[in-house]
Structure 1
Amino acid sequence: MAYVNTAAQVRPNGLSRWINARIAEYREAARRREVYRRTLGELQSMSERELNDLGISSASLRDLARQAAEMA
């Protein structure tokens, strides 16, 4: 008895590759936004004294959070 494979073999074409790339970019951006948001929140929760002990100016919190997100 012969068996027939009726499952469609789907190979990614240009459009599906493009869509998959955009989805991957979106996920990466979302992950970095979460790192930025979490880092900024943690830094903002610190007192001025704690920040000074670490050598961090409160004016540079957003820059530090952005750097953390870029490195993630």
Structure 2
Amino acid sequence: MAYVNSSRAASFSLADRFSGYVAQFKAHLARRAVYNQTVRELLVLSDRELSDLGISRNDIRSVAHEAAYGK
């Protein structure tokens, strides 16, 4: 009993790599938009409202970073 096993090395064309870069860039822009929106929304809150959420004004950027990019 004989069988043939053939395998090809995965090769990505220039177009595949370019589309991958474009997808990564779009994902980056989407995450950055979430970050910016979160910062804007938190900055308009009063100190009392931020305190109710358990956030100090100094923590706004780190909270926004976590919201957009995770821990």
TM-score when normalising by structure 2 = 0.79
RMSD: 1.0
Could you list the runs of 5+ residues in structure 1 that have no partner in the other structure? 1-12
Q: Distance in 2 between matches of 1:32 and 1:45?
A: 21
Identify the residue that residue 50 of structure 1 maps to in structure 2: 49
1:39 counterpart residue number? 38
Q: How far apart in 2 are the matches of 1:22 and 1:43?
A: 32
Paired-residue identity, %: 37
Residue 3 of structure 1 corresponds to none
Corresponding position: 1:16 with 2:15: yes
Unaligned residue ranges in structure 2 (runs of 5+): 1-11
Correspondence 1:59 to 2:62? no
- What's the offset of the Cα at 1:53? 1.1
State the Cα distance separating 1:70 from its structure 2 match. 1.2
Where does residue 10 of structure 1 map in the other structure? none
User: Following TM superposition, by how much is the alpha carbon of 1:54 offset from its aligned partner in structure 2, in angstroms?
Assistant: 1.1
Whichever residue aligns with residue 40 of structure 2, its letter is G
Q: Once structures 1 and 2 are overlaid, which stretch shifts more, 13-22 or 42-51?
A: 13-22
The one-letter amino acid paired with 1:39 is T
Give 3-state SS (helix, strand or coil) of 1:46's partner.
coil
